[in-house]
Amino acid sequence: MACQQSSETTDLNKIAFLFPGQGSQYLGMGKSLADELPAARAIFDKADEILETNISQLCFKGPLEQLNQTINTQPAIFTASLAAFYSFNNLKPDYILGHSLGEITALVAAGVLTFEDGLKFVQKRAQFMQEEAQKQDGGMAAVLGLSQTEINKALAEQKGIYAANFNSPGQVVISGLKTAIETQTEHLKSIGAKKIVPLKVSGAFHSPFMKNAQEKLSQYAEQIPFKDASVAIVQNYNAEVQSNGQILKENLIKQLTNPVMFQQSLFLLDSKGVTNYAEIGPGKVLSGLVKRTLKTASIHNIEDIDSLESTVNNLVTG
């Protein structure tokens, strides 16, 4: 089931669904939805069957160390997010935006990929990324207090380090060799960075270090049909609206070695009249980015029974 473009919202009251990426996982994600709603339970059961592993119990009970491994994290978040998405059918978006991994979730929500094809794609993506991560001592870090322009200028002449996520004003994630990140830390602080926070990831994602993973994923993607989207999707690669299946696929592959243009995507949605943003899936990471980027936005989330009821009530009846 794919969501259809909303015909009920006005130009002044448009809705965007946001799907989270790696880093949003936590033990117990999706459990209350699966316990109470057959539609959510069915998604977890189907994921277990497709992956031939108990991904649902990994989401619900862990162990956390295993859940935090890239090879498991990505399919787990994908499954939990779609379990939340399929828990309601009375709320339709005007646009959909995912963050990194979340863009694949968005493609399923918009009918571009089937759930099974999407899950298998995520599994391969995680596998290829983890394989590349094991080849070099890479990592990522969030830089707080510098603009996109300042980061780009600071890294322009550096080797082994790149801008990876433009998340919100004053928050840019850098990616590269850990030695390069450590070397640049003092320099970035000297030009105004307030804080630099290493991220708990296993590799230099969204950088040229993922080139081999990108090539493998591109080959795998040729086996999967990508349909045109039923709802406009804003893509990470270029922060542009797209619905053509072939272009969605090409840009999704490019995403692996290029920065996530999340802040720019939010600005685009704002310019198109989106006022309501609903994060669908575990955590509130994206909600925080929206809050820092768009001061007047109305922010909602759906990750459990309570937030589901609150968000649907607010957006459908409010």
Catalytic residues: 100, 206
Cα distance between the two ends of the chain: 26
Instruction: Round to whole Å and give the CA distance between 243 and 253.
Output: 16
Which amino acid, one-letter code, is at 94?
D
User: How many CA atoms lie less than 13 Å away from 95 in the CB half-sphere?
Assistant: 27
Instruction: Round to whole Å and give the CA distance between 68 and 27.
Output: 10
3-class state of residue 4 by DSSP: coil
Instruction: Round to whole Å and give the CA distance between 138 and 115.
Output: 31
Instruction: Round to whole Å and give the CA distance between 3 and 84.
Output: 13
The two structure tokens encoding residue 74: 């990505």
Backbone torsions φ then ψ of 54, nearest 5 degrees: -90, 70
